[in-house]
Amino acid sequence: MPGYLDPPVFTLEDGEILISTQRSLLDMAAIHRFLTNCYWCEGVTRAQVERQVGASLPFGLYVEGEMRAFCRVITDYTRWAVLSDMLVLDEFQGQGYGKRLLAATQQHPELRDVNRWLLATRDAHGLYAQFGYEELGRPQMWMERKLPKDSRRWT
């Protein structure tokens, strides 16, 4: 059985763009700076970001060695995958990097057969719909558990 806690590195090259799951390439400072200001994890600490990335399959998009986009997939590699923390650094938005990164998650050989992908978004439904995401078919089946803000270690 492959080591799913540390799967083999997946790499796609398309001209000047490199997309890779190689953790050592990630710019953790840039990821943290971006995420700490996002509505879904405002105030998250650097240690928490490193823990989140360590517990998932991270994808980075690079041009000339510079990380321009990032996302991570939380998965069991068979039935479930959750796309999370999809981001394109501010200065590189609007150049198609997010779409390329999303396509790469679906091309990863260990994720191709996952039959249920989930994500949460407040404002990017149109982007994700282009990749087959749609509203929950039976939302009455789904439940969530959230800790009150005042009991969390970050907001």
CA 9/CA 19 separation, integer angstroms: 10
CA 3/CA 9 separation, integer angstroms: 11
Give which of 19, 102, 100 is closest to 9, Cα–Cα.
19
Residues in the chain, overall count:
155
CATH-assigned architecture of domain 11-135: 3-Layer(aba) Sandwich (3.40)
CA 70/CA 34 separation, integer angstroms: 10
Domain boundaries defined on the chain: 11-135
Are the beta carbons of 7 and 47 closer than 8 angstroms? no
Bridge partners, 75 (sequence order):
81
Q: pLDDT tens digits for the chain (155 residues)?
A: 344 566 778 988 988 999 999 999 999 999 999 888 887 787 889 999 999 999 999 999 999 999 999 999 999 999 999 999 999 998 999 999 999 999 999 999 999 999 999 999 998 999 999 999 999 999 999 888 888 766 656 54
